[in-house]
Amino acid sequence: MTILGRFTRYLAVVLLLLEACSAEDPLRPANIRVAVPPVLGPTLSSVLGSERGGDSVEFVEMHPYARARDLEVLLFASDSLAFQGVVIPGRSVPLLRPWLVKMSVKLPVEIREDIARTMDPSAPLAFPLTTDFGVLVTRSDLWRSLALPPPTSLAGLREALLALRSREAATRSAIVTDLPVDELFWDLSWSFEERADPGLYTFPKVHVLEFIREFRLDRQLASENEVVEELRTGRSAAAFTSLQRGLRLCARDSRLSVLPLPSGRGRAFALYNGWCLARLSADAEVERRLARFMTPSVQKQLAAGGWVSVLSTVPIEPSGMAAWASTELHAAPDLGAAGDEIVLGALLDATQGPMTAEESLRRGAARLRAQGGQ
């Protein structure tokens, strides 16, 4: 049996056990079970504990979360009864679209307009809970000490990084990232093109992939602590990370600044990758209870817990305002069932293989067309 076959059987067994454990006891009130990532579980539990009727929702953390994407697909594809809701990353919505059921509850008008568009405000596929997207974090003191111009364009950022690398020790990596390489690729490409173009083979995207390869940005750092250490010691002067992590980095080091992605005209375009709540149950009461997470009272508590709200009326930390206000968010490109793997393969062909950026993207675009993804 293949590794994929064994893993699929493992997930099926896990689901059966979860469903057995979730059998309702007729002597107690029915709880709504929501599967959540471990990083968000404590905050949501705390928020619901302070809300009236909060005990009607039970959060179950998914461990190990590294395998959560496969589990999410299996949960939705199998119409599992183990959970009534699942918290998923925003970029997973297109992948799960074939199984997601449109909600009858409309999104509140206070939700950021660009986030609402990614979900369809009148009949959303999921309820957005938090705001997150790619940003650039810099050691602003290093930029000032070398009189470098602000990194507002990709060309300007490249020149600054080359200057930093040439004036310091040869071991300087200049810039690091903890974003997945495909997310970084779309963010930088769309910001360069000034639109969310799902086409894989374009001149700006070739240029962006060459930039990623030049600075070895295919090597994603494993943890936030690694990014902190790189920036704290000055081994790196900048990092591509998420808004959420960027705010935490700035709270730990006052020398850091959160900036929008380099775009050329002051407005960045990025994937919306905040946490979203999708439902597995078609029960209208379940949907009504889950919609509470978008109310101002819950959103304010999420913000107090360190998360960026999806409501434009809930204040954000001042250090993140520039990126928050200067970034337009879009749904991840819907490239078909195997689209993400094809794109990632094309990027790795150029960054870790023998192909040029143009060759790899042209080949990847042809593969997407063959499977109907573009």
Same domain as 232, residue 169 = yes
Retrieve residue 33's tokens.
């079970």
The answer to whether residues 321 and 353 touch, using CB atoms and an 8 Å cutoff, is: no
- 219 & 235 share domain: yes
Q: Is 326 a member of any domain? A: no
What is the domain range of residue 152?
134-271+335-370
Identify whether residues 112 and 10 lie together within a single domain: yes
pLDDT at 50: 58
Query: 221 and 163 in one domain?
Result: yes
Query: Which pLDDT belongs to residue 146?
Result: 83
The DSSP bridge pattern shows strands 256-259 and 327-330 to be: unpaired
Buried b (16+ CB within 10 A) or exposed e, 241-275: bbbbbbbbbbeeeeebbbbbbbbeeeebbbbbbbb
How many C-beta atoms lie closer than 10 Å to residue 222's C-beta?
9
Per-residue pLDDT of the chain (374 residues; tens, 9 = 90+): 444 444 444 444 344 444 444 444 333 336 788 999 999 989 988 887 655 544 578 899 988 777 777 778 888 888 888 888 899 999 999 888 888 888 988 999 999 999 999 998 888 999 999 999 999 999 999 888 888 888 999 999 999 999 888 876 544 678 999 999 999 999 999 999 999 999 999 999 999 999 999 999 999 998 888 999 999 888 899 999 999 999 999 998 999 999 999 997 779 999 999 999 998 876 788 888 889 899 999 999 999 989 999 999 999 999 999 999 999 999 999 998 789 999 999 999 999 999 999 999 999 999 999 987 66
Q: What is the pLDDT of residue 20?
A: 41
Tell whether 351 and 244 lie within a shared domain.
yes
| Residue at 347 is within a domain | yes
pLDDT of residue 200: 96
DSSP notation for 86-100: EEEEGGGHHHHTTTP
Same domain for 348 and 309: no
Q: Is residue 330 part of a domain?
A: no
How many CB atoms neighbour CB 7 within 10 A?
13
Q: What pTM, to 2 d.p., does this model score? A: 0.88
Long-range Cβ pairs for the range 151-156 (8 Å, 24+): 151/238, 151/259, 151/262, 152/262, 152/263, 152/264, 152/266, 153/262, 153/263, 153/264, 154/188, 154/191, 154/192, 154/207, 154/208, 154/211, 154/262, 154/264, 156/262
pLDDT at 12: 45
Distance of alpha carbon 102 from alpha carbon 314, whole angstroms: 26
Same domain, 76 and 182: no
- CB under 8 Å, gap of 24 or more: what pairs does 351-354 form? 351/181, 351/209, 351/212, 351/213, 351/216, 351/218, 352/218
Indicate the DSSP class of residue 319.
G
Q: Looking at the structure, tell me whether residues 125 and 138 fall in a common domain.
A: no
The whole-number pLDDT of residue 68 equals 73
Radius of gyration for the chain, computed over Cα atoms and rounded to the nearest angstrom: 21
In the DSSP assignment, the letter for residue 168 is S
Question: Residue 85 domain-assigned?
Answer: yes
Using DSSP, how many helices (H) and how many strands (E) does the chain show? 16, 11
Q: Are 217 and 258 within one domain? A: yes
DSSP letter, residue 148: P
Both 113 and 142 in one domain: the answer is no
- CATH number of the domain residue 266 falls in: 3.40.190.10
Task: Fill in the amino acid letter for 145.
Answer: S
342 in the same domain as 244:
yes
Query: In the chain, how many domains are there?
Result: 2
Please indicate, yes or no, if residue 329 is contained in any of the structural domains. no
